[in-house]
């Protein structure tokens, strides 16, 4: 892949994330799977701001501030990493935060554990909605924005996962880091694998790979929906990114590789075998994944390699997008596997 030497100007960002994050080997996991496995430690972007969402929020909150916003509004599942990161990043920037969170029974919301605890600690206002109402999440966030305006405030709405053209700049930058990381290693067929939940990370990586000459294939393991959904979602975000900033690349459906078939019981619902993969990786190499995103995606990698050891080439680079706080609500499910 050719490198575009002149890097296009990115939009303004605020400094929230600890980057660049290290690329580390997983020696015992590599031996067990029969392929070199390394991990891009985006779980180390911070303590409270751990994970991939903070890279996106650097650009999104800069845009919010440039528009004069005093309140940010976003949405996610009850244990959303994105919502937790948004609440904490907003507090750091002196902004108010409203969250729209999906749960089984809004009349009896879940206990304040994991990310919910941190949402509340950061002072976020939470509006609980049902799974059926999730289809209306964007109009519901607009209702929250209208309430902010009625009170004299200025809202800024961030889409699910921070996944839009502005937010995806965070992973354009991460692709540049990965290109530099891989330049220090022996050349060999490599696949960079990421958990795919809303599409912004994938869009940024794919565009960034083209801009920065990342010498690797990119593949997303979807943790919800299906391949067709993410080919469309990532394609739309990438097209908007390219058009808005007149970037000298193109992205088509053939550029978007989705490793489907590993959603299991559904979004944020774990199978025992997925939790065993989390346990085994931690015991082999001391790396902690989460049950919603990285654990499900890495289990997909393990499953695919068991079927075909050459599935991803000679080297796998797994992008650890964070999520450690999501482990704590899963303690009861994990307990029988830890003896």
Which of the four pLDDT bands, split at 50, 70 and 90, describes residue 8? Answer: low
Residue 339 has a pLDDT of: 86
* Cα(319)–Cα(333) distance, integer angstroms: 25
Given a cut of 90, is residue 338 above it in pLDDT?
A: yes
Mean pLDDT computed over 21-41: 98
* Cα(149)–Cα(140) distance, integer angstroms: 14
CA angle 312, 318, 319 (to 5 degrees): 140
Among 2, 6, 80, 198, the active-site one is 80
Partners of residue 194 on adjacent β-strands:
220
Q: Kindly list the structural domains of the chain, giving each domain's residue range(s) and its CATH number in brackets, ordered by start.
A: 23-51+164-337 (3.40.50.1100), 53-162 (3.40.50.1100)
Which of the four pLDDT bands, split at 50, 70 and 90, describes residue 25? Answer: very high
pTM beyond 0.85: the answer is yes
Share of the chain above pLDDT 70, in %: 98
Residue 202 has a pLDDT of: 98
- How far from chain centre, in Å, is Cα 216? 19
Give me the chain's average pLDDT, please: 96
Look up 80 and say whether it is catalytic.
yes
Report pLDDT digits (tens) over 116-167.
999 999 999 999 999 999 999 999 999 999 999 999 999 999 999 999 999 9
Given a cut of 50, is residue 178 above it in pLDDT?
A: yes
Report pLDDT digits (tens) over 210-226.
999 999 999 999 999 99
Given a cut of 80, is residue 199 above it in pLDDT?
A: yes
């Amino acid at each position: 892949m050719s490198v575009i030497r002149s890097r296009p100007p990115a939009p303004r960002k605020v400094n929230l994330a600890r980057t660049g994050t290290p690329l580390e080997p997983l020696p015992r996991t590599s031996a067990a799977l029969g392929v070199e496995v390394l991990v891009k430690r985006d779980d180390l972007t911070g303590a409270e701001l751990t994970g991939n969402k903070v890279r996106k929020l650097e650009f999104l909150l800069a845009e919010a501030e440039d528009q004069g916003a005093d309140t940010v509004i976003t949405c996610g599942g009850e244990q959303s990493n994105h919502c937790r990161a948004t609440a904490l990043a907003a507090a750091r920037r002196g902004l108010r935060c409203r969250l729209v969170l999906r749960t089984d029974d809004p009349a009896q919301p879940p206990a304040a554990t994991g990310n919910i605890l941190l949402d509340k600690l950061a002072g976020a206002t939470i509006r609980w909605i049902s799974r059926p109402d999730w289809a209306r999440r964007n109009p519901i966030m607009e209702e929250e924005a209208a309430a902010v305006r009625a009170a004299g405030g200025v809202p800024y709405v961030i889409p699910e996962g921070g996944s839009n053209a502005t937010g995806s700049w965070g992973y354009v930058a991460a692709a540049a880091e990965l290109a530099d990381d891989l330049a220090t290693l022996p050349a060999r067929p490599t696949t960079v694998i990421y958990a795919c939940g809303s599409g912004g990370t994938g869009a940024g990586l794919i565009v960034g790979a083209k801009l920065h000459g990342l010498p690797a294939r990119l593949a997303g393991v979807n943790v919800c929906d299906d391949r067709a959904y993410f080919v469309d979602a990532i394609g739309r975000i990438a097209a908007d990114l390219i058009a808005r900033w007149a970037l000298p690349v193109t992205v088509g459906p053939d550029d978007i590789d989705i490793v489907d078939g590993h959603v299991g019981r559904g979004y944020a619902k774990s199978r025992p075998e997925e939790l065993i993969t989390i346990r085994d990786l931690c015991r082999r190499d001391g790396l902690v994944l989460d049950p919603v995103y990285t654990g499900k995606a890495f289990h997909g990698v393990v499953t695919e390699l068991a079927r075909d050891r050459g599935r991803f080439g000679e080297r796998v680079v797994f992008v650890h997008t964070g999520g450690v706080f999501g482990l704590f609500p899963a303690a009861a499910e994990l307990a029988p596997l830890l003896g």
